Structure 1
Amino acid sequence: MTNDTHAVSPAIQAVKDITFGSIAGMTSKVFEHPFDLTKVRLQSQVLDATARFNGPIDCLVRTFHNEGVRGLYRGLPAPIAGAMVENASLFVSYSQLQHVIRWITGDLSSQELTLPQLAMAGAGAGAVTSFVLTPVELVKCKMQVQMLAVDVPGTSMHSPSAAALGPTLTSIKPQSLPGPIAVLTSVIRNGGLRGLWLGQTGTLIRETGGGAAWFACKEFVAAKLVQQRAARTGARLARKDIIPWESAVAGACAGAVFNFSLFPADTIKSAMQTEEELRPRGKGVSPPTFLGTARAMWRAQGIRGFYAGCGITVARSIPSSAMIFLIYDGLSKRFP
């Protein structure tokens, strides 16, 4: 994200941020979805008596073997729509908050904000986006564990023996499972509109801190790369002169930092959002809370439980985030 957008009218810049962010987000989401599905399934088993999967590779292989390519992309429509909203919201909020910071500091002519100011804008953008993102992730997570929640005749899927079966239930036809609209309406029917924001605390923590880390890291690495190129060539280069590989490297670093920094909050959120499918409490019982779920996970597996699926998440975030900024910066440069 460039910091010299003050020369463009706020309305036009907002349209560009929404458009470019949506394109970048959708493209990266198609690439990363199988890995995100793996992460959610690993996170959802932390509180189970018996783990369904031995790790990310086991989860990927068994999901592909039992559910095929379609299984790897289970729940994709929700995150595709969410990626449009998420990245559009992130980039437009980030851009507009930079204008707000310039207005507050009284330095409307400045093209460059300091790194702490960029981090502040990133944190604000993440906080705003979290309220849009939680319902999308709720539907996505519920769909991603559907094949793990189906009952086998004569066996409770919530018993250790059934849990061990996990995705070996090949008799279940994926097309018979509810789609995103059905899942969405079920959530509203059972918990009202408020139920759509189950796990909001985790999303807010992850997106606020992660947004600050994501944008600040990207801007920092990008600035250093441009400065090094300027020193080598002797040319006078500004932030807007970033080239594709520099955008990709800076984005890759930002993705790793974002996902690792507040991963436990994401794990708690995923466990909360999949509890109804995998560990139902019964009617009349209050939904899980953030702190209550965190305590249960700590008792079950300690610190290790909070980082279930972290490795594959960080690994997939590197190319995914690189792709987002490569596309976003490329479009911003192509259509200034």
Structure 2
Amino acid sequence: MSHGDEKTPAIVSLLAGGIAGAIEAASTYPFEFAKTRVQLREQKGIPTPKNPFKVVLGVYRNEGIRALYKGCSSLVVGSVAKDGIRFLSFDTIKDLFKDPETGTLSPLRSLAAGSASGVVASFVAVTPTERIKTALIDDARTERRFRSGRHAVVTIWRETGIPGLYRGLAGTTLKQATATAFRMGTYNILKDFESRKQIKQSTVTNFANGSVAGIVTTLMTQPFDTIKTRCQSSRGASTVEAFRSIVADYGVKGFWKGTTMRLGRTVLSGGILFTSYEWGVALLNPTFATVKTTILKD
């Protein structure tokens, strides 16, 4: 994302996005864990609480603190790649989407740029890492056949090949396209509005903008997230099978399963992600500017 009139270098977007993704994923993972547990099919006779804190507390009491971070490493690695690529592609694509006459990005073009960058991130990084994370969480409460993230990758690869690692590609890509459109688009729209109103950017405004973007994103994309989770359970399911199973289990309202958990996470994660990204850009820009100047002098 540009800072003022200065374009952020591609390498800075990539690195700052990756760092922000790792910080965001690690710091909010228990909420992601709770949300995923709720979206997966309930075990017979063991209903899942709707309150995310009850889910987290129940898992902590019965399975220990380590269980709450089952699949976390997979998500962190995926978030480094996902958010690095997402910020890089958004910063690149939005320049292509700018009005050629005014050089500005309208709200609709902001959403379109975000959607395109979400598709790129889904294919390159998000789908396989989300598949492993979800499979690990599901497996931990049922069969317990995966010893680690690496073991899950090897097992799924042996059983189903590359298609197994890309289970839920359609649902994930739909989710990423819409989620990135609303998350990056909303944040960019808010920043542009504040720039026109001459509101100074700070940690508080960055966090607030990111949190608002997270709320909008969650409410608009929850059905895609629920379908994706069902597709990426330990044994996997097709998008059609996942859709049918959600309707059979809960009816139409089932597509918004886990909304409370996801909101609890995205309010924090949106603020953390964009604040960390802006910090990363502020720290890395001078470093790379110095390196570039040194190279040009030599």
TM-score by length of 2: 0.88
Equivalent residue letter for 1:274 = S
Give the direction of change, closer, same or farther, for the CA distance of 1:78–1:275 in structure 2 (3 Å limit): closer
1:61 aligns with 57
Change (3 A) 1:262 1:193: same
The structural deviation recorded for 1:223 is: 3.1
Structure 1 position 43 matched with structure 2 position 2:
no
Pairing partner for 1:115 from 83, 107, 126: 107
- Provide the C-alpha distance between the structure 2 equivalents of 1:143 and 1:149, rounded to a whole number of angstroms: 10
CA shift for structure 1 position 54: 2.2
Q: How does 1:160-309 map to 2 (within 5 A)?
A: 177-228=146-197, 230=198, 242-274=201-233, 276=235, 288-309=237-258
* Per-residue deviation, 1:143: 1.0
Give the counterpart of 2:136 among 123, 131, 143.
143
1:14, distance to aligned residue in structure 2 (A) = 1.4
- Number of residues of Structure 1 aligned to a counterpart in Structure 2: 283
Which ranges in structure 2 are unaligned for 5 or more consecutive residues? 286-298
Which TM-score applies when normalising by structure 1? 0.78
Which amino acid is 2:139 matched to? Q
**What SS is found at the alignment partner of 2:241?**
helix
Q: Distance in 2 between matches of 1:14 and 1:323?
A: 21
| SS of corresponding position for 1:99 | helix
Q: What SS does the corresponding residue of 1:274 show, helix, strand or coil?
A: coil
- Residue 128 (1) aligns with residue 120 (2): yes
Amino acid at match of 1:323: I
What is the letter of the counterpart of residue 49 of structure 2?
N
Residue 266 of structure 2: which of 290, 304, 317 is its match? 317
Deviations 1:22-45 (A, max 9, x none): 111101111111111111111002
Separation of aligned partners in 1, 2:254 and 2:7: 48
Q: Which AA in structure 2 matches 1:260?
A: L
Structure 1 regions of 5+ residues with no counterpart? 152-175, 231-236, 277-286
Aligned mates of 1:255, 1:17 — CA distance in 2? 20
- Percent identity over the alignment is 21
Deviating above 2 A after TM superposition, structure 1's stretches of 4 or more consecutive aligned residues are: 1-8, 48-52, 54-58, 99-102, 220-228, 330-336
2:242 alignment partner AA: T
Helix, strand or coil at the partner of 2:64: helix
Letter in 2 for 1:128: V
Q: 1:23 corresponds to which residue?
A: 19
| RMSD over equivalenced CA pairs, Å | 2.2
The structure with the larger Rg is 1
2:71: which partner in 1?
75
